[in-house]
Amino acid sequence: MSETEIDKVDKEIIRLLQEDAELSAAAIGERIGLSQSPCWRRIQRLRDEGLIQGQVMRFDRKKLGFDVMVFAQVKLTAHGRSKVPEFAETIRQFPEVQECHLVLGNIDFLLRIVVRDIEEYERFFFEKLSHLAEIQEVHSNIVLSEIKYTTELPI
């Protein structure tokens, strides 16, 4: 995959949108010295080229009752490694799994799981995750406190 060419103005637009995705083209243009129409066209081009892939809101998971975050390291069986696409599709169906990454090293997948409490994680683990036949082992790491969380890229 080749990197799309972006200039200084595009980078500034991306930086501002990362901070606040609700900013209008007029507001962004005002901050970077560009009128609304050219700013809107640049934003649209960034969308069309796939640099902007959506617009979401971030929520405070704890205020919504999701007090437990777990990073689970998953190792598949030798036979299970031939079924990585099937495993990935199954994991996509679990709403508790916020992120799933295929990784190199002594594990195959790293999952970020968010649940309301330890009991809910226990149910998720025993009723869903451990039922997947291709899993050899799972190492769960419970997050004590979140030191830094961002979705902003260092543009």
pLDDT digits (tens, 9 = 90+) for 26-80: 999 999 999 999 999 999 999 999 999 998 889 999 999 999 999 999 999 988 7
| Stronger pLDDT, 3 or 5, i.e. the higher one | 5
Torsion from C-alpha of 57, 92, 145, 117, nearest 10 degrees: 100
Query: How many folded domains does the chain comprise?
Result: 2
pTM of the model: 0.87
Q: What CATH number corresponds to the domain at position 20?
A: 1.10.10.10
Distance CA 40, CA 13 (A): 10
CB contact set of 88 (below 8 Å; sequence gap of 6+): 100, 102
Mean pLDDT score of the chain = 95
Judged against a pLDDT cut of 70, whether residue 21 lies above it is answered with yes
Helix (H, G, I), strand (E, B) or coil at 99: strand
Same domain, 78 and 38: no
86 forms beta bridges with none
Same domain, 72 and 43: no
Task: Return the structure tokens found at 23.
Answer: 């900013």
Task: Return the structure tokens found at 75.
Answer: 């190792």
Percent of the chain whose pLDDT exceeds 90: 88
Percent of the chain whose pLDDT exceeds 70: 99
Structural contact between residues 138 and 109, judged by C-beta atoms closer than 8 angstroms: no
pLDDT band at 2 (very low <50, low <70, confident <90, very high): low
Across the range 82-104, mean pLDDT stands at: 95
Same domain, 88 and 31: no
